[in-house]
Chains A and B, each alone.
Chain A
Amino acid sequence: MEKNKIDTSFEQCMKCTVCTVYCPVVAVNPNYPGPKQAGPDGERYRLKNPLFYDEALDLCLNCKRCEVACPSNVKIGDIIQSARLKYGNNKPKLRDYILANTDIMGSLATTMAPVVNFTLGLKPVKAVMDGVLAVDHHRTFPKYAGQKFETWFKRHALKKQEAYERKVSYFHGCYANYNHPKLAKDFVKIMNAIGYGVNLLEKEKCCGVALISNGFKDQATRQAELNLGSIRKAVARGEKVLTTSSTCTFTMRDEYEHILGLHNEDVRDSINLATKFIYELVDAGQVKLVFKDDYTRRIAYHTPCHMEKLGWAIYSTSMLKMIPGVDFVMLDSQCCGIAGTYGFKKEHYNDSQKIGQNLFRQIHDYAVDMVATDCETCKWQIEMSAGVTVENPISIIADALDVEATIKANRK
C-alpha cells in the first residue's frame, strides 16, 4: 500500500452495525461511539475536516474484533488506529513512553531484576506510579528475569543448534526475552526434540505493537524496518520465522502493512506462530510428539483478540488436545480487557476489568487447573483477575512432552 494513501475500505460498509455489537468497549463504556461511528462513519467526516476527529477514539483497545465480525471486509480497527495516529491531539505522555518501550525498559530492568521486581511491587511505589504516571495501582508489572533469554541462548544453546540440518528462526519478542525466558527455552526444547535447530534473528527489536497503540509511529516504523530486514535474511536462508506470541505475529504480519504502510508481503507468509507451524508438521506426518503418561491437567483455552483476528486459535487448541492427559475446555472467545498497555492506564483500568468480567467468571465456573493462551498480556490480566495460572500452549506442550521419546520418534 502506498504510504499515506487513505484506506477506502470504509466504502464497503453496509451499516449493519454488527461491529458495534461485538465491540467490547461499547458494552462497558457509553462514551465510546463504537467502531462503526469511530471507523467508517467518522472517516467520511474526517476527510471533510480533521476537526471531526473525536478524542474518544482513544478508548479503542485495538482488539480488531470489529474486523472479525465485519461481513463486508471493512478494516475498521485499522481505520481507527490510523486516525488516532494521524489526527490525535493527545501527545504521548512519559507513562506511555515507558509502557510502549518494552525493549528499553526490559534491557534496563533485567540487569537489576531483583531490585526492580521488589521495587515495582512496593505499595508506595505503586501509589507513586498511579499518581504521577497514571499507571493503575491495581496492576503489577510482570516480573523481570535475572538473565535475558538471548544471553542464556548464546551461552547454553547456540552451539547445540549446529547439529540440526533443518532450521527455523525465532522471534522471541520482549516478554520471552526479559520477563519469561522459560517460554523461549520451552520453544527451543520442543523444536530440538522434533529435529529442528533454532536460530535467533540477526537483530531483533520489539515488534512495536505498544508503540503503535501509544502513538509512537515513527519509532514503531524504524523498529519494524529493522525487524523486517532481519526476517528477510532468515527467509533468504530458507528459514521460517516463528514466534510464541500471537500479538507479535499479528503485528508483523498485518499492522506493519496496514498501519505503518510498510511492504512486508514478501515475508508475511514466512512469519508464523510456533503452534501453527508444529501442528502442520504433525498433521502432515512429518514429525511426531510423544507425551508423558503422568501429565494430567484440566486446561481451558482463552482466545486472545489478535489470535481471533489471525483465525489461528484452532492450531493452539488442537495442539493442546493432542496431550492425552489434558481435559480440554474451550472458553468463549471474548476480550480479556487488558489489550496490551491499555489496561495498565489508570483511565482505562475500570473499563478493562469490566470487559473481562464474563471471561473471569467463566474461568472460575469451569474450575480448571490452568488457562492456556497465546498472548502474554492476556496472561497477566487473567492471572491477576481470575487468580489462576496461565501458560502459553508452547510451555504446556514442553512440560507434557516426553523429550527422549520424542527425539527417538523423530530420528531418521
Chain B
Amino acid sequence: MKEYDVIIVGGGITGAGTARDCAMRGLKTLLIERHDLTAGATGRNHGLLHSGARYAVTDQESAEECIRENMTLRKIARHCVEETDGLFITLPEDDLAFQETFIASCLKAGIRAEAIDPAEAIRLEPSVNKSLIGAVRVPDGAVDPFRLTVANVFDAQLHGADLLTYHEVTSIVKENGRVVGVEVMDAHTKTRKTFRSRIVINAGGIWGHHIAELAGATVNMFPAKGALLIFGHRVNNMVINRCRKPADADILVPGDTICLIGTTSSRLPYDQIDDMKVTPEEVDLLLREGAKLAPELADTRILRAYAGVRPLVAADNDPSGRSISRGIVCLDHETRDGIPGFITITGGKLMTYRLMAEWATDLACKKLGVDKKCQTAEICLPGSEEDARTDRKTAKTYGLGAKAAEGRHGTRSADILVADKKDESLVCECEGVSVAEVNYAIETLQSKNILNLRRRTRLGMGTCQGELCACRAAGLLAKANGCARRSVEDLAAFMNERWKGMFPVAWGETLAEAQFTSWIYEGVCGLDSFVKKEEE
C-alpha cells in the first residue's frame, strides 16, 4: 500500500489549498473528504473577496492578511475572481463620524480606501440606496469558492496528489502514541480502508473538532451559523457594505449571475451542524436589512436560502469561548498535546485559505525535514495561467455556453472539446452549461453525480434550480457511468436538495417554479413513483 507523507482531512478550501501546497513541495499527498469538495462552509458563504476593510477597525491583523491575500488571489486565481470593487455606505441612521475611523484603519492596514461623494457612489453603483450620506470605495471583489477549491485540488492532482471524496475518516490510526494514518469508510461501498502517512493534517473546518477528538486532542470550536439569501440576478455590480461596526445582513455581493445578501450570526449547538435550517426570522432579517443596501432587493426573486457554519476557535488559554479568534489557528499537537504526527489548521477565512495552507505545510515540512519554499502565492492556479493561445475565437463566433465556460474554467476551457453541434447544446440553460462542459466536468474534474457537476459548473444553480438541466445531466452521467438506476436516484436526491434551499423562500415566483418543477418530475416523468419502486 502506498505510504503518504501527508494525509489531509477535509475537502474544503483549506484542505484543498493545503493539498496543493504540500504537493507542490513534493510531498506524497492524499486529500480525504467525506462528502464532495466544498460541501461545508466553503460552499456556504458570501463568495466575498474581502479587501479586509470590514475587519480594519476591530482586527488589524486579519485586515492585513486579507488585503495581502486579496491581491495574491487576483493574480493566481484570476478566473475565480471578479474585480468589482466595493462600497462601504453610510445611511442616515448610521454615524457618519465612523467613516473617518474606518478610512484611517483601512489605510493603516494597507487597504486602499477612498471617501467618495454619494452622487458618485450612485453613478458607480446605480442599485445602491439613494439616501446614502457617505460612501467609501475599497478593493472588495467576488470570488467563486467552488471554482477556487476545484482549481486547488486539480493543481494538487497535477502535482501528484491523490483525492478521495465520499470517504469519511472513522478513526485516526496511532502507533506508540504517534499518528500514522487514518481509517476511512467508503460511503458508496460501505467498506473500511486504512491509509498510512507520516503526518495527518486536520483541515475539517467546524468538523475538525470531531477529527481532533478522534486523535485524542481537544480543539474548542464554537459553531456560528450564518444564513444568506441568493437573488435571481445581479442587482449590483459592486460589493455593497454598511460603513459601521460589522452587523447582520450588511454585505451584498454580486457573484456570477446572481447576488447574495448575508449574513446572520447565531451560535449553534455542535450536534446541529449537519442539519441547518434557515428560519423565517432569518429570511425576514436578511430581506429587511438587504433592502437598506439596495432597495431593489425587496422586489427581486429569491432563488434560495442557505446557511454555513463559521469554524470559530477559542483561544487555548480561554476554554470558555469568550475570546474567540477569527484569525488563523495552526496547532502542532505534538507540542500542544503530545500527539506527534498530527496538525490542525483551522480558524481563518476563505480569504486567507492560502496563508493557512502555507502555515500548515510549513509545519508539516519542518516535521518531515523537507526544506522547500512555498510557491503558492507566485504560481497561478490551473485556469488562471497566462493565456498563450493564439487561436482564441472571437466573441462573435461563439455562444452563451462557450462564453460562460470560459468564465468558469479560465484558460482550461480550451480543454472543453466541442466535436459537433450536439456538444454545443445546453444542458443547463440558465447558466449556459453545455454538453461539452458537462463531459469535461465528468472526465477531467471527476464529477460522479449531479451535485458534483453543480459545484464544478454551476449546473442547476440558476433561476430554475434544476428544473430543466437536472434530468439532462442525469442522462449524461448515466451514459458516462454506464448505470441508469443510480442516475435516477441521483436525480431524485438532487431535486430534493434544490427544494431544501427553496423551501425557506418559497413564495411568489420561487414557489411557482418549484411547483412547475415538481409537476414535471413527478407528474410527467413519474420520478417519485420510480424511486419508491426502487426502494421496495
Contacts and interface: CB of A to CB of B under 8 A. Distances in A.
B248 interface: no
14 contacts: A11-B301, A12-B301, A14-B509, A15-B468, A15-B513, A16-B516, A44-B257, A45-B257, A47-B233, A47-B257, A48-B256, A48-B257, A52-B403, A52-B404
* Central interface residue in A12, A15, A37, by most chain B CB within 10 Å: A15
Q: Chain B, interface size: which category?
A: 20 to 34
Contact of B463 (A42, A44, A47, A52): A44
Given A45-B257, A48-B256, A48-B257, A37 B400 contact: yes
Nearest to A31: B399
A48 B512 CA distance: 25
Nearest to A4: B126
A15 B400 contact: no
B64 interface: no
A162 interface: no
A30 B301 CA distance: 31
A17 to B, nearest CB: 8
A302 interface: no
A369 interface: no
Contact of A48 (B234, B301, B468): B234
A313 B404 CA distance: 42
Contacts of B468: 15, 17
Contact of A14 (B395, B432, B464): B464
Contact of B467 (A15, A37, A54): A15
B462 interface: yes
B308 interface: no
A119 interface: no
Interface in A45-71: 45, 47-48, 51-52, 54-56
Interface string B291-310: 00000000111000000000
Contacts of A48: 234, 254, 256-257
Interface string A6-41: 001011111111000000000000100100110011
A42 B462 contact: no
Interface in B412-470: 421, 426, 429-430, 432, 462-464, 467-468
Given A48-B234, A56-B399, A15 B300 contact: no
Nearest to A51: B395
Given A44-B233, A44-B430, A47-B233, 9 more contacts: A8-B233, A11-B509, A12-B509, A14-B509, A15-B467, A36-B429, A43-B233, A44-B234, A56-B399
A60 to B, nearest CB: 15
B396 interface: yes
A30 B422 CA distance: 12
Nearest to B432: A45
Interface string B454-498: 000000001110011000000000000000000000000000000
A8 B300 CA distance: 8
Given A33-B399, A51-B395, A15 B233 contact: no
B232 interface: yes
A197 to B, nearest CB: 47
Contacts of B509: 11-12, 14
B400 A33 contact: yes
Interface in A157-182: none
A66 B464 CA distance: 19
A41 B396 CA distance: 18
Contacts of A8: 233, 299-300
A39 to B, nearest CB: 12
Contact of B403 (A43, A44, A51, A72): A51
Interface residues of A, number: 27
Q: Taking chain A's interface residues, is the majority helix, strand, or loop, or is none over half, making it mixed?
A: helix
A15 B399 contact: no
Interface in B362-412: 395-396, 399-400, 403-404
Contact of B399 (A12, A13, A54): A54
A42 B431 CA distance: 9
Contacts of A43: 233
Nearest to B428: A41
A56 B299 CA distance: 31
Question: Which of B254, B395, B467 lies at the interface centre, i.e. has the most chain A CB atoms within 10 A of its CB?
Answer: B395
Contacts of A55: 396
B429 A41 contact: yes
B516 A14 contact: yes
Nearest to A5: B126
Contacts of A11: 232-233, 300-301, 463, 509
A245 B385 CA distance: 58
Contacts of B463: 11, 13, 15, 40-41, 44
Interface in B208-260: 232-234, 254, 256-257
B463 to A, nearest CB: 7
Contacts of A42: 400
A14 B233 contact: no
Nearest to A13: B463
A201 B426 CA distance: 51
A41 B430 contact: yes
B400 A45 contact: yes
A72 B515 CA distance: 14
A390 to B, nearest CB: 38
A45 B232 contact: no
Nearest to B299: A8
B400 A44 contact: no
A41 B256 CA distance: 13
Contacts of B257: 44-45, 47-48
A16 B429 CA distance: 11
A406 B212 CA distance: 98
B518 to A, nearest CB: 12
A47 B464 CA distance: 18
A36 to B, nearest CB: 7
Contact of A15 (B256, B403, B404, B429): B429
In the A-B complex, the 10 residue pairs with the smallest Cβ-Cβ separation, listed nearest first, are: A15-B464, A11-B301, A44-B257, A47-B234, A44-B233, A14-B516, A11-B232, A48-B234, A48-B257, A41-B429
Contacts of A10: 233
Contact of B400 (A13, A17, A47, A54): A54
A14 B300 CA distance: 15
Contacts of A52: 400, 403-404
B400 A14 contact: no
